[in-house]
């Protein structure tokens, strides 16, 4: 699949031209902004991508389209997986539309896998997707499944911190943020953030700001419950790794303290 460079998209729904919105809803172009991704009509997109779905599945999808975006993505993905099985994942993850590839992310999260490593192998190409939106759907799609085996997930994701791809390294950190965005909190990590040090520690000197921001946001989450732990950790990191990357992470991590 070749992903075209993103055009300069609209930042307000009212500013999206009708022809662009129609193209987004028919899956012929990817979204260029979050606003465009939220504005497209997923009911049309489903029918364009899968023209032979059964009436009950279409009814369930139309009902899902009345929900908020996260519930919409989850419900549509569950309906597609229920009717089409894993072939729907294969078809979606190679589609031009970032929203359709996002359905694949949630279908991976819905599917039963033998263990965490199998789950992560399935989500890997989507976690490393060229589109910013797909990368967000990737960690949101599998976060609940990863949380169900927290120790196994932390162990497996710690290996991802050595990936040559900054997108994969960022996924390793973002997927298990204690509070996260648009998602349920992870109570165990709110109680004991040190559990995630096998992921955080290798990323404390990451040269990529995309990864640095994720690490800083992770620690900012933790600081809401354990400010002293975050301060102590940052002091240790700055002592052990006095470099620009670590300084930036620690400054941003403690921005609300």
DSSP code per residue over 21-69: HHHHHTTSS--SSHHHHHHS-HHHHHHHH-TT--HHHHHHHHHHTTS-H
pTM comes to 0.92
pLDDT of residue 52: 96
pLDDT of residue 23: 97
Mean pLDDT of 90-113: 96
Mean pLDDT of 148-155: 97
Q: Which of 97, 98, 69, 101 is nearest to 80 (CA)?
A: 101
pLDDT at 1 over 50: no
List the single range of 2-6, 151-155, 238-242 with lowest mean pLDDT.
2-6
Q: Which of 238, 157, 177 is nearest to 205 (CA)?
A: 238
pLDDT of residue 182: 85
pLDDT of residue 235: 97
Q: Using one digit for the tens of pLDDT, what is the confidence trace for 46-91?
A: 999 999 999 999 999 999 999 999 999 999 999 999 999 999 999 9
Mean of the per-residue pLDDT values of the chain: 95
Mean pLDDT of 223-249: 97
- Give the integer Cα–Cα distance in Å for 30 and 4: 8
pLDDT of residue 7: 64
List the single range of 150-154, 171-175, 179-183 with lowest mean pLDDT.
179-183
Q: Using one digit for the tens of pLDDT, what is the confidence trace for 2-61?
A: 445 566 777 788 889 999 999 999 999 999 999 999 999 999 999 999 999 999 999 999
Q: Which of 192, 189, 153, 191 is nearest to 171 (CA)?
A: 153
pLDDT at 188 over 70: yes
- CB contact at 8 A, 72 and 65: yes
pLDDT at 193 over 90: yes
pLDDT of residue 3: 47
Q: Using one digit for the tens of pLDDT, what is the confidence trace for 129-147?
A: 999 999 999 999 999 999 9
User: Could you tell me the residue ranges of all domains in the chain?
Assistant: 15-148, 178-257
Mean pLDDT of 226-242: 96
Mean pLDDT of 168-177: 98
- Give the integer Cα–Cα distance in Å for 227 and 217: 13
Mean pLDDT of 106-115: 94
Mean pLDDT of 155-170: 98
List the single range of 82-91, 116-125, 177-186 with lowest mean pLDDT.
177-186
Question: With bands split at pLDDT 50, 70 and 90, how would you rate the model's confidence at 230?
Answer: very high
Buried b (16+ CB within 10 A) or exposed e, 138-165: bbbbbbebbbeebeebbebbbebbebee
């Amino acid at each position: 699949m070749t992903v075209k460079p993103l055009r300069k998209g609209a930042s307000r729904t009212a500013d999206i031209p009708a022809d662009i919105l129609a193209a987004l809803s028919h899956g012929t172009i990817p979204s260029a902004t979050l606003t465009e991704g939220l504005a497209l009509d997923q009911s049309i997109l489903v029918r364009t991508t899968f023209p032979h779905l059964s009436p009950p599945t279409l009814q369930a999808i139309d009902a899902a389209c009345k929900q908020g975006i996260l519930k919409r993505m989850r419900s549509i993905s569950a309906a597609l997986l229920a009717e089409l099985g894993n072939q729907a994942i294969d078809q979606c993850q190679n589609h031009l539309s970032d929203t359709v590839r996002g359905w694949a992310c949630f279908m991976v999260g819905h599917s039963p896998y033998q263990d965490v490593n199998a789950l992560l192998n399935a989500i890997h190409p989507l976690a490393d997707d060229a589109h910013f939106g797909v990368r967000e759907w990737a960690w949101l799609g599998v976060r609940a499944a990863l949380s169900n085996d927290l120790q196994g997930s932390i162990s497996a994701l710690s290996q991802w911190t050595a990936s040559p791809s900054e997108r994969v390294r960022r996924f390793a950190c973002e997927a298990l943020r204690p509070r996260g965005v648009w998602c349920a909190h992870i109570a165990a990590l709110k109680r004991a953030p040190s559990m995630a040090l096998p992921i955080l520690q290798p990323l404390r000197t990451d040269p990529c700001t995309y990864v640095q921001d994720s690490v800083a946001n992770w620690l900012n989450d933790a600081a809401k419950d354990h400010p002293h732990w975050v301060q102590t950790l940052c002091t240790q990191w700055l002592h052990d790794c006095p470099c620009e990357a670590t300084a930036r992470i620690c400054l941003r991590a403690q921005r609300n303290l």
